[in-house]
Amino acid sequence: MSQPNVLLLGPPGAGKGTQSSNIVQTYGVEHVTTGDALRSNKGMDISDLDVEYDTPGGFMDAGELVPNAVVNEIVKTALREADGYVLDGYPRNLDQAEYLDGITGLDVVAFLDVPREELVERLTGRRICDECGANYHVEFSPPEEAGVCDECGGELVQRDDDTEETVRERLSVYDENTRPVIEHYDEQGELSRIDGEGSPDEVWERLHTAIEERT
């Protein structure tokens, strides 16, 4: 079969980015992530949409969803160019899920399940490399030298939306908007539920097995 199309669902901090790297390495697919795409375009002028903020960054720093019109377009373009992908951070509401159904076919839909208390800890302790985007955690996966990227020597920084206050808002936006998306795929019998607790390697073992079963 050609490269698989994988949808990776889960709340903020569930490990979608971390596990996407494993999927990319193992299957040679494209990592399509709306979060990273939007972070690279935080200052884009979207004032013509006449919405609450004039840029994606306004929504992101408040922990709210960027308007569908912006993200749908990003995903459509990225998927068109990909031969197999892992999609991370999208869809986040039912309208996006419906849009996605219309533009692609999914081989695997996996949901990373992690309890709420652990999510807050994972997010507030996350650090990312300013240069190459590599992902760390001050406690759970620290770099060899504090504040310095193992991969490239770049500086490790905290994401603007990883403060405790914004994290809580992101989690409540998730409960309200994204939980129904999980139920949507579950009802269709497509959802592989993965226990997202334990070390990243343990989670990968479970996820890898689930992908193999579905492809």
C-beta separation of 84 from 28 below 8 A: yes
Residue nearest to ligand AP5 (CB): 35
Q: How many residues bind ligand AP5 (CB under 6 A)?
A: 35
Beta bridge partners of residue 32, listed in sequence order: 87
5 vs 34, beta carbon nearer ligand AP5: 34
Among residues 6, 55, 59, 78, which is the contact residue for ligand AP5, using CB under 6 A?
59
What are phi and psi for residue 25, nearest 5 degrees?
A: -65, -40
The span from the CA of 7 to the CA of 118, in Å, is: 22
Catalytic residue among 16, 122, 127, 206: 16
Query: Within a 10 A sphere around the Cβ of 27, how many other Cβ atoms?
Result: 17
CB of 16 to Mg ion, least distance (A): 5
Q: Could you identify the residue written with the tokens 């309200």?
A: 176
Question: Could you count the other beta carbons within 10 Å of the beta carbon of residue 212?
Answer: 11
Binding partner selected for residue 65 from Mg ion, ligand AP5, Zn ion, none, CB under the kind-specific 5 to 8 Å limit = ligand AP5
**Residues in the site for Zn ion, rule: CB under 5 A?**
129, 131-132, 134, 149, 151-152, 154
Bridge partners (DSSP) of residue 127 are 136
What's the min distance (Å) between Cβ of 28 and Mg ion? 20
Residues 64, 9: contact at Cβ < 8 Å? no
56 binds Mg ion (CB under 5 A): no
- Cβ atoms 136, 184 nearer than 8 A: no
**Positions in the binding site for ligand AP5 (CB under 6 A):** 10, 12-18, 34-35, 38, 59-60, 63-66, 71, 89-90, 92, 96, 122-123, 126, 135-137, 140-141, 161, 170, 199-200, 203
**Positions in the binding site for Mg ion (CB under 5 A):** 17
